[in-house]
A and B are shown apart, each in its own frame.
Chain A
Amino acid sequence: MADVKAAPAAPARTGWDRSRALSWLQDYGVYASVALLLVFNAVFTPHYLEAGNFRTQLVQVAPIVIVSLGMALVIGTEGVDLSVGSVMSLSAAMLTLYLGYGLVPALLVALLGGAASGAVGGAMVAFLGVQPIVATLALLVGLRGLANVLVPQLKEFRDPGLLELGGGSVGGVPYVVLVAAAVTVAVGFAMRRTTFGRRLVAIGGNRRAGELSGLPVKRVLVLVYVVSGVLAALAGVLSTARIQAADPTSLGLLMELSAITAVVVGGTPLTGGRVRVAGTVMGALLMQLLTSTLTKHDLPSSWTQMVQAVIILGAVYAARQRVTR
């Protein structure tokens, strides 16, 4: 071990311990926090451990989880996707417009819309060298407008298939939650077992090295944004199914911020090169639990926001320590 590590010249003992503690915090802090909140609620919140409560929480968090997983992939490449909320509203609009052709075609068209938006954003980033934040900001603005043009106002509808998708469940587990779980498993698998996942983190970790190693850097980048777009569209479809109405004006508003929060709190560094799938899911859960806990104890939502801010800062601080170590 001695000649293996390029050990920094013996920093002060306390400093080393602190950086280790922070690194532990980045890796497992989110799990510990979720566990802590669950224990707190089990003791202090009445009726918390009932199945109905968990079901509600999970149904609420499912779309955020789905979007966050796509966001985690984009952030893994040192990028960011601000367009996810608008893609959700676009998918809601397209779903409504094509529902006349049947549920499955409408779903496909909605997801395709998400893929196309992602392809546009990814192409801007990969081929034109536009900064991710700018490219997806343009989409954030433009796609919300497009969705509003397609469906100018809130449009309710009754479709039995969609109703089932949004409200149904199998064995007590809502479909929406099942879909989120399936997406989690799929993204986890992609990161661990596919060339796409391996290349993604390599490009995020050192893009120049990826290029010189002959990796299809541009193709991977475009694909990452396409995945993020499809997942956002999926979340849009599920949300629409749940409320039985297309609401392009407000659906997915500020979703990009919730997703980034979940990713960061989950321990994925904004500097790229690492994607934490389970951590991201936990990050989304943590924020959800926090909101519900404070609400159940009759604290105003402004309190929730302030506590969230502290958690975000803590997560970013822990990550910063790791980079500068």
Chain B
Amino acid sequence: MAAPPPDPPLIQATGIVKRFPGVLALDGVSFELRAGQAHALVGENGAGKSTLLKVLTGVYRPDAGELRVAGAPAAFGSPVDAQRAGVQAIHQEIGLVPLMSVARNLLLGREPRTRLGLIDVRALHRRAEELLRPYGVEVDVRRPLRSFGVGTQQMVALARAVSVDARVVVMDEPTSSLEPREVDTLFGVIGGLLEQGIAVVYVSHRMDELFRVCESVTVLRDGRLVHTGPLADLDRLRLVSLMLGRDMAEVRAEGLTRFSGEHGSGDHGRAADTPVLEARGLTVRHRIADVSVTVRPGEVVGLGGLLGSGRTETAKAIAGALPLDAGTVAVAGRALRRPTAASTTRAGVALLPEDRKAEGIVPALSIRENIALAALPALSRAGLVSDARIDRVVDVFMKRLRIKASSVHQPAGELSGGNQQKVLLARWLATGPKVLLLDEPTRGIDVGAKAEVQALIEELAGEGLGVLLISSDLEELVEGSDRVLVLRDGAVAAELSGGEVTEHGVLAAIAAEGED
């Protein structure tokens, strides 16, 4: 590395720690950003990216560690403090007022005034047009912001941030809803910002963009700093393995998961069995294209890929939670016409969603009610619930899954992540499913619960269930699955089976193609 430049870094965060109840979100993370630098911040879900961004932009206060802005110690009490110090975030959900005009948005709170103290509308519009010009946006600034596309709105947000003297601009997935042409414009604008000495923190999962825009990179994993340095020193494969926590040189011979790690051995997963799940050509516009998945009884099929590669969407499409544009789903040989969540549930498909809190747990209801929820038809007669039957089922699963709670009447919202996950698993197992779609079943739960869930998955497959396992934890994916499908950009990039199911094989499939 060259000798350090004389002026201090724009942002220097040292040993940042941030704790949430039950989670250590950031564990002594350091981060350095220099003027005129585009710095990529990458990591899978739960890596701590968004927590770090929120610390940098004043949304969270760190529990420990030091934050310096341009050399001076900074303690942001609120986002406003951060903005005063010149740190501005451009979010996906842009923090503007959709119903107000573009001009009003740009100059909100600092509108030019007439001598009478009223807003000088003509000057307002002129100033707004001047501000927008460098961004290649030519729009009528008098029209409401929401009448323009996401790309334009983002440019307005960016123009606003820069015009209030932002020295650091944080962009979180800025291209996620942009058209290719708009992406080019955005990159041009970023180049301009860098020339002005503004620093950009760039968060994205799209490898191409990172290598195109960014000069340096910081990789986080599980709240820890894994790597930081110039991006040019890394190739794609290396970057992906850093993100997923797999150093090629030190892939262990035997993993730490509770899976036995045998692939396609034993008496399950024979080609002769009727598949419990056969999904063909699943297509959901902008999300997944022509994805086919087959799961046989007793088989665990892994679904690998980076965040945003379409894993979750595939599972949701199979479960009827995402309307299909094309494709068919058959469960145990029976085709489902236009699958809906209700019809797939009846057919024996169970989806354990990735976002437990938003899509799984009903927090105000008791553990008992949460477990009984999906199986109510089987636990009732003529619409009348049988308490005795519910108690029996709940008791069985409380014991089998070792759910720890003060009582079955405790609100599920009070449970720890691991126990909530077990409650959701119990909810689905109570319906007697044929296929389990597990979306990140062990993410965000403690080590003990994780091992228990992994052991349970293997046990269930042993009983003849088909399992589709989505996991960002490569070790879990490889040791838990008989076969692995690797998704990239919403399409199947590779299918690995038998001896090909290795961490290296998955990594290579994820990083492939983009080597140009």
Q: Do A and B bind each other?
A: yes
For the complex, what is the distance from the CA of A194 to the CA of B21, rounded to whole Å?
36
Residues of A near B365 (CB, < 8 A) are 201-202, 205, 273
Q: How far is the CB of B191 from chain A (nearest CB, A)?
A: 41
Residues of B near A128 (CB, < 8 A) are none
Q: Is the beta-carbon distance between A1 and B406 smaller than 8 angstroms?
A: yes
Interface size of B in residues (CB-CB distance below 8 Å): 40
Contact code string A194-219 (vs B, CB < 8 Å = 1, else 0): 11101101100110111111111000
How many A-B pairs have beta carbons closer than 8 Å: the answer is: 100
Residues of B near A202 (CB, < 8 A) are 362, 365, 369, 373
State whether the Cβ of B345 lies closer than 8 Å to any Cβ in chain A. Answer: yes
Contact code string A207-243 (vs B, CB < 8 Å = 1, else 0): 0111111111000000000000000000000000000
Q: Is the beta-carbon distance between B406 and A4 smaller than 8 angstroms?
A: yes
For the complex, what is the distance from the CA of A8 to the CA of B19, rounded to whole Å?
11
Which of chain B's residues has its CB closest to A189's CB?
A: B384
- A195-B376, A214-B346 known; A209 vs B385 contact (CB < 8 Å): no
- A4-B404, A194-B385, A213-B373 known; A208 vs B415 contact (CB < 8 Å): no
Q: How far is the CB of A239 from chain B (nearest CB, A)?
A: 31
Q: How far is the CB of B203 from chain A (nearest CB, A)?
A: 26
Q: Is the beta-carbon distance between A273 and B383 smaller than 8 angstroms?
A: no
State whether the Cβ of A17 lies closer than 8 Å to any Cβ in chain B. Answer: no
State whether the Cβ of A5 lies closer than 8 Å to any Cβ in chain B. Answer: yes
Contact code string B164-181 (vs A, CB < 8 Å = 1, else 0): 000000000000000000
Residues of B near A274 (CB, < 8 A) are 364
Taking a contact as CB atoms closer than 8 A, the residue among B22, B319, B369 that contacts A198 in the complex is: B369
Residues of B near A8 (CB, < 8 A) are 21
Q: Is the beta-carbon distance between B362 and A195 smaller than 8 angstroms?
A: no
State whether the Cβ of A9 lies closer than 8 Å to any Cβ in chain B. Answer: yes
Residues of A near B342 (CB, < 8 A) are 214-216
State whether the Cβ of B419 lies closer than 8 Å to any Cβ in chain A. Answer: yes
State whether the Cβ of B372 lies closer than 8 Å to any Cβ in chain A. Answer: yes
Interface size of A in residues (CB-CB distance below 8 Å): 29
Q: Is the beta-carbon distance between B344 and A214 smaller than 8 angstroms?
A: yes
Q: Is the beta-carbon distance between B410 and A4 smaller than 8 angstroms?
A: yes
B-facing residues in A151-198 (Cβ within 8 Å): 193-196, 198
Residues of B near A198 (CB, < 8 A) are 369, 372-373, 376, 385
Q: Is the beta-carbon distance between A199 and B362 smaller than 8 angstroms?
A: no
Which of chain B's residues has its CB closest to A205's CB?
A: B362
| Most chain A CB within a 10 A radius of its CB, from B21, B342, B346 | B342
State whether the Cβ of B321 lies closer than 8 Å to any Cβ in chain A. Answer: yes
Residues of A near B415 (CB, < 8 A) are 4-6
For the complex, what is the distance from the CA of A216 to the CA of B341, rounded to whole Å?
9
B-facing residues in A273-287 (Cβ within 8 Å): 273-274
State whether the Cβ of A7 lies closer than 8 Å to any Cβ in chain B. Answer: yes
Determine, out of B6-14, B138-146, B353-361, the stretch whose residues face the partner at the interface.
Answer: B353-361
A-facing residues in B150-165 (Cβ within 8 Å): none
Which of chain B's residues has its CB closest to A214's CB?
A: B345
Q: Is the beta-carbon distance between A211 and B376 smaller than 8 angstroms?
A: no
Which of chain A's residues has its CB closest to B414's CB?
A: A5
For the complex, what is the distance from the CA of A194 to the CA of B360, rounded to whole Å?
22
Q: Is the beta-carbon distance between B341 and A211 smaller than 8 angstroms?
A: yes
Contact code string B1-38 (vs A, CB < 8 Å = 1, else 0): 00000000000000000010110000000000000000
Residues of B near A50 (CB, < 8 A) are none
- A6-B22, A214-B345 known; A205 vs B364 contact (CB < 8 Å): yes
Residues of B near A9 (CB, < 8 A) are 19, 21
Q: Is the beta-carbon distance between A3 and B416 smaller than 8 angstroms?
A: yes
State whether the Cβ of B78 lies closer than 8 Å to any Cβ in chain A. Answer: no
Q: Closest 3 interchain pairs by CB? A: A214-B345, A205-B362, A213-B374
Listed by A's residue number, 17 A-B pairs whose Cβ atoms lie within 8 Å are A193-B387, A194-B383, A194-B384, A194-B385, A195-B380, A198-B372, A198-B376, A201-B362, A205-B363, A208-B359, A209-B373, A212-B341, A212-B353, A212-B360, A213-B341, A215-B342, A274-B364
Interface residues in chain B, defined as those with a beta carbon under 8 Å from any beta carbon in chain A: 19, 21-22, 319, 321, 341-342, 344-346, 351, 353, 358-365, 369, 372-374, 376-377, 380, 383-385, 387, 404-406, 410, 414-416, 419, 427
